[in-house]
Amino acid sequence: MAGRVVTIDGPSGAGKSTVSRRLAARLGFRYLDTGALYRAVAWSLLASGRHLDDPADVAAALTALRLAVEPGPDEFVVTVDGRPVGLEVRTPEVSQAASRVSTQAEVRGFLLGFQRRCADISDVVAEGRDMGTVVFPAAGLKFWLDAAPEERARRRHRELIERGETVTYEAVLAATRERDDRDRARELAPLRPARDMIVIDATAMSVAEVVEDMASRAGQTWPELKKGLSSVN
């Protein structure tokens, strides 16, 4: 791990993606959306008709999956068969499938190398579920970003409606709670903060407030960043 790494873990819908992108831009790091990797795997499995809960079938599919993570100007880009993944991996169906396959050791092991190589390329803000515990345990700064389930469901529902999807808030809230329960109960990388993580409850905080708090802590961790941080205020 040659670069500086900030990890942002937490449950679905806490705002990790938005916060991570803005924090990466603020620090001059590249953003790594590890959820996109799991979604890309899940989308590929669904498209090929694989059995998501059959580890042998999933493992066989992984050997043929042409997945890559390429460094872009501001973030790492996930591609399948040479094409960047887009909104097709952001549907509720793919989200639930990603949560299911993420419990499998074969999938997590397959993606581990892709994630760790990113830190060999540049400074990284990595968001996911086990960034600070499994993928980058030696990261210089680790956050756990959380929010109440109702608030996370409201944000996710608004996002889906803006994309033109027809879904009720009640359905999104039920899916949020179901995913939380599954992710917390899994044996492999269960959803919970580690002791060395800084916990931020963003239920009543704006994105700007969360980013400013994290950027300030990054400046304390790496004093050489302070000059650059102050120049954009």
d(CA 115, CA 108): 10
Q: Which residue has the tokens 């599919």?
A: 61
| Domain-located, residue 185 | yes
Q: Mean pLDDT throughout 8-18?
A: 91
Number of domains into which the chain is organized: 1
| Pick from 92, 71, 77, 9: nearest CA to 37 | 77
How high is the pLDDT of residue 92? Answer: 82
Question: pTM of the predicted model, to two decimals?
Answer: 0.86
Beta strands, E only, the chain: 5-9, 30-33, 67-71, 76-80, 83-84, 124-128, 141-146, 198-201
CATH at 56: 3.40.50.300
| Domain-located, residue 223 | no
| Domain-located, residue 232 | no
| Domain-located, residue 233 | no
How high is the pLDDT of residue 13? Answer: 85
How high is the pLDDT of residue 1? Answer: 60
Boundaries of domain holding 201:
5-215
| Domain-located, residue 231 | no
Residue 50 above 80 pLDDT?
yes
| Domain-located, residue 222 | no
| Domain-located, residue 224 | no
How high is the pLDDT of residue 187? Answer: 75
| Domain-located, residue 112 | yes
pLDDT in tens, 151-183: 999 988 998 899 888 899 999 999 899 888 888
d(CA 177, CA 181): 6
CA 78 to chain centre: 12
